[in-house]
Amino acid sequence: MPAPLVIFDLDGTLVDTAPDLVASLNHAVMQAGLAPVTYNDLTHLVGHGARAMIERTFALRDVALSASDLDWQMKEFIDFYHGSMPGDSIPYPGVIDAMDRLSSAGLTLAICTNKLEMLAKSLIEGLGLTDRFVTITGGDTFSVRKPDAEHLLSTIRLAGGLPESAVMIGDSLNDILVARNASVRSIAVPFGYSDVPIETLEPDHIIRHFDELNPDLIERLLARH
């Protein structure tokens, strides 16, 4: 039986990336004449990767976006975001200690995010956290992304784990849905970028702070499987 595997979502779960996402998005869309977006807008824009975030921003402003404009916007967004990493993005309070507790107890850690894999890996590298994760997969790593079960199941396979001994931790609908679709236990956090109260997503468990994340909790959740 492989070691239990704890899989983190990235934006809004492991790292508070909102300031840099908003700044990079505005860097791109303001060049196209759009009014800047705010943190509150972000909860409705983030979740399906950069391309969807740009498309949703144009839709929010009721401005048409051609395929070539989208390519140009993507390049502006990615160059700005990547160029300023890690920027003002910081891991959420207590998450480093929580990862220490899990790793010390022999659990394995991975990341399953809808961010582009390259951006996710650069950010984690910039924060000095790369060595903590056995696998980091992004929205473009496979042909599908969260909430498609295969994104999570493939991440678990790459990490050498098993769905029945894995727990997914996330802040948004896609994270709880992908866990449910893959028959994997889920934990939700309330401090991320969900556009609805996380209780309504019906995760298996909710933690208010990473102080609550420990090997015992993971054991208990997996025992209920």
Ligand X SMILES: O=C(O)COP(=O)(O)O
Give the one residue of 6, 7, 11, 159 binding Mg ion; rule: CB under 5 A: 11
Residue 191 CB, shortest distance to Mg ion, in Å, is 11
Q: Which amino acid is at 97?
A: D
Number of other CB atoms surrounding residue 40 within 10 Å: 9
Active site residue 9: yes
* 182 forms part of the interface with ligand X (CB under 6 A): no
For residues 125 to 164, the per-residue mask of contacts with ligand X, x marking binding by CB under 6 A and - elsewhere, is ----------------------------------------
Q: 53 touches which of Mg ion, ligand X, none (CB within 5 to 8 A by kind)? A: ligand X
Catalytic residue among 9, 16, 20, 175: 9
Number of other CB atoms surrounding residue 143 within 10 Å: 9
* 49 forms part of the interface with ligand X (CB under 6 A): yes
* 38/225 with CB nearer ligand X: 38
Helix 18-31, helix 67-83: angle, nearest 10: 140
Q: Is 111 left (phi over 0), alpha (psi -120 to 50) or beta?
A: beta
What secondary structure letter does DSSP report for 210? Answer: G
Residue 14 CB, shortest distance to ligand X, in Å, is 8
* 20 forms part of the interface with ligand X (CB under 6 A): no
Give the one residue of 56, 108, 171, 180 binding Mg ion; rule: CB under 5 A: 171
Residue 183 CB, shortest distance to Mg ion, in Å, is 21
> What is the total count of residues that contact ligand X (CB under 6 A)?
13
* 138 forms part of the interface with Mg ion (CB under 5 A): no
Whether the bond between 36 and the residue before it is cis, its omega within 30 degrees of 0, is no
With a CB cutoff of 8 Å and minimum separation 6, the contacts of 16 are: 89, 90, 91, 92, 191
Q: 76 touches which of ligand X, Mg ion, none (CB within 5 to 8 A by kind)? A: none
Reported as type and span, the H/E element at residue 90 is strand 90-91
With a CB cutoff of 8 Å and minimum separation 6, the contacts of 100 are: none
- Give catalytic residues, as residue numbers: 9
Where along the sequence are the contacts to ligand X (CB under 6 A)? 9-12, 46-49, 53, 113-115, 172
